[in-house]
Amino acid sequence: MPDDLKTVSRSQSALRVKGLDHVVLRVADMDRAIGFYEQVLGLHIERRLESIGLVQLRAGTAMIDLVPRTEDEEEGRNMDHFAVRIEEMDVPAITAHLKAQGIDPGEVRRRYGAEGYGSSIYITDPDGNTVELKGPPETAG
């Protein structure tokens, strides 16, 4: 991409990514996966949602989420989605930007991420990977 186009696309984009918020992996054996991330990487469990089998491990400022892989899911395809933290959740601007890029903007919902609860939108990349656009955390008040 030419440098002048890079500059224009960055300055006009409604999406300004701050970094990775979390990654969600589908695992065949939850205890084995937790053991790996705790013992090998030194992560700790921050949160569990028993209703869906979710385990969230703190990885610095981000999270690694583990969910059980179902029997009908393809072996070796274990990425559920990853989330990028965006600077601002300006829904009309983001929706317009995504539509202009030919991307169907998903529903805005309140979801938990590395910095707590906040608004997010799911989109799909050209290879079928789900990308969560995670806005700033809710403020107390």
Cβ atoms of 75 and 123 within 8 Å: the answer is no
For the stretch 21-73, pLDDT in tens is 999 998 888 999 999 899 978 899 999 999 999 999 999 899 999 999 887 76
pLDDT of residue 41: 82
* Residue 69 per-residue DSSP state: P
Does the domain at 3-137 match CATH 3.40.50.1220? Answer given as no
Q: What share of the chain is helix, strand, coil (3-state, %, to 5)?
A: 20, 45, 35
For the stretch 79-107, pLDDT in tens is 889 999 999 999 999 999 888 888 888 89
Range of weakest confidence among 78-92, 105-119, 126-140:
126-140
Give the start-to-end residue ranges of the domains of the chain. Answer: 3-137
For residue 28, give both structure tokens: 């065949």
User: What's the whole-model pTM score?
Assistant: 0.73
Long-range (24+ apart) CB contacts under 8 A made by 75-78 are 78/25, 78/26, 78/27
